[in-house]
Every structure is written in C-alpha cells, then in structure tokens.
Amino acid sequence: MQKKGSIINNYWDLKEIKIWEYVPEKKIASDFKYKEKNILRISTNLSQDQILNSFSDPRSISIWSIPEFIKNLEISGFSATRHKLFFQNELSRPLFLTAMMLIGATFAMRYSRFNQAGLLILISVLVGFILFSLEKIAITLGQAQQIPILLAAYGPPTIGILISLGLLLHLEDG
C-alpha cells in the first residue's frame, strides 16, 4: 500500500501513517513513541475545492465571500496572508484614488505661467507612478510578512494623501 491521504465525504482517509505520541517516561529526547497504522479516518470540515482555492489567486474569489473564506482558511490551518492583504488592499482602494486625485489637484491648481503646464503634468504623472510603485513594494513586503498587513494596505494611500494635502495647503497659503 502506498502512503497517501485523500478527502472523501468530510473525512481524511490516510493510508500507511505513523502517529507520534509524547510519552514522558524519562527526561530525554526519546520520549516520543510512534505507532504505525494502515488506515486512519479523521473528520474534517475541508473540501477539496477549499484546499485548491487556498492556493489560487485571491482575485478569483468574490469580494463579498473573502471574509468567510479567510476565516475557513485560518480554522483549517492554512495561511490566509495573501487573502487578508488582498481584502484590505481592496478596501483601501478609495483612499488610493483620493490620493491620486489630490496629487493631480496639487499640480493642476498652480498658475500655468511661462508655459509650464506640460512640466506640471509630467511631474504629476511621475509622482503618481512613484505612489503606485510604493504601493506595489508595500504589498510585496506585506505578502512576505515583513510589515503588518494594515500598513501594507493603508500606508501608501495615507502617505499620498498627507503629502499632497501638505503640498496643496502650502501652495494655497502663499
């Protein structure tokens, strides 16, 4: 018989397995004993589709069902970092669009004397690309769990809003 496991009717069917048990007989490293079994059935709330979806792209799941899907992944023991980050990033999308609008407004509200309109448009587009690149870097760091998920999702839009508001208020003041 070959070592394998499969999900059939809400049960894991495991074949040719070893079960390790902790038996504190002595205080040494060999306190673990194992038993070999040919077949073991364990009940589960997982389905094959849920396992396959946990490895798929989070964009393939409806935005409305992601919170429940994240909860099921965490209960099942799978990592839900990508799905959490995707969900938070989608929730922060209006803030990102607001930051882009404020960047455009900052450069569009200046006087276009001396034919500087083209330069102002170019600078506005470049700042937008920088903010977009910053968002992609933050998402990558969030997926690698180098920074918290909320910082990865809400940090770049917040930075863009604060900097553009500061610059806008500075230009309007004087």
pLDDT digits 0-9 by tens, 19-76? 877 777 666 666 667 778 777 787 777 766 666 666 778 888 888 988 988 888 887 7
Do 39 and 54 belong to one domain? Answer: no
pLDDT at 105 over 60: yes
Do 36 and 8 belong to one domain? Answer: yes
Q: Cα–Cα distance between 160 and 155 in angstroms, integer?
A: 9
Do 28 and 99 belong to one domain? Answer: no
User: Pick from 93, 90, 165, 159: which is nearest to 131 by CA?
Assistant: 159
Q: Cα–Cα distance between 35 and 33 in angstroms, integer?
A: 7
Q: Whole domain around residue 19: which residue ranges?
A: 4-44
Do 76 and 23 belong to one domain? Answer: no
pLDDT band at 89 (very low <50, low <70, confident <90, very high): very high
Do 74 and 140 belong to one domain? Answer: yes
pLDDT digits (tens, 9 = 90+) for 124-171: 899 999 999 999 999 999 999 999 999 999 999 999 999 999 988 888
Do 37 and 111 belong to one domain? Answer: no
> What pLDDT, on the 0 to 100 scale, is given for residue 153?
95
